[in-house]
Amino acid sequence: MTFINKLSAAWTANDSLLCVGLDPDLGKLPPQFQNDPQGIFHFCREIIDATADLACSFKPQIAYFAALSAEDQLQRICDYVRANYPHIPLILDAKRGDIGATARQYAREAYDRYGADAVTVNPYMGFDSVEPYMEWADRGVIILCRTSNAGGSDLQFLDVGGKPLYQHVARLVAEKWNANGQCALVVGATFPEELAQVRAIVGDMPLLVPGIGAQGGDIAATVTSGRTANGAGMMINSSRAILYATPTAGEDFATAARRVALETRDAINQYRT
């Protein structure tokens, strides 16, 4: 099954456009995990189990693991998702960007080592920096387009033939790069008007949308700007707001994470039609 087909099935099966980001910050983990040599894996496993029926995808951010020399735990997490929730797409958030043989090694890391269904990549170096990922025709290539950070405008709004650069990227991907039908774009929830512009350019191409939750993106504006005609087409990511949800009376961290994930999934669904 291709990444796009798997994602489409997950949208339907879990009635969800919610992507649960896995960004483990050791200082924010519950105390029982902070002195555990495999604490990152154990924490993420609990989050995955608590939210798997509410998510259309899981997205581990590689830097949070690599900074702690925890790539072995990331690999265990990826193995765990594939073994226990094989119907849920696994996205490696790496934002890689290099050319030729180096890009091919990054692709091997994402697809062969970690078994990811898709990986995020940076298009700044052009098509030959993205093309090696497309050799894995069943996997997704999720390309940065209009990012959720304020500083993204420094480059993404540069004029390219009368259009901002992010729209040029969207058009390039939709019209030239997506020959295998495996591409998606990253477009931030913090810029709903630009999200709508990208949707108009790329048709039904999936969009990975960070920026709700801790970053403050508006759910209603995000969904109405980015949904496809059938009320899907998006992986709306929330990481910190779910991972580090504050427990209420009688809740542990995983129950709190599930509560916030459910609230977020249901809030998104209000605006899908």
Catalytic positions: 95
Confirm if 38 and 71 have CB atoms less than 8 A apart: no
Distance CA 63, CA 65 (A): 5
Distance CA 33, CA 54 (A): 24
Distance CA 192, CA 220 (A): 10
Q: How far is CA 213 from the centre of its chain?
A: 14
The b/e string for 98-132 (b: 16+ C-beta within 10 A; e otherwise) is: beeeebeebbebbbeebebbbbbbbbeeeeebbbb
Confirm if 170 and 185 have CB atoms less than 8 A apart: yes
Distance CA 187, CA 146 (A): 5
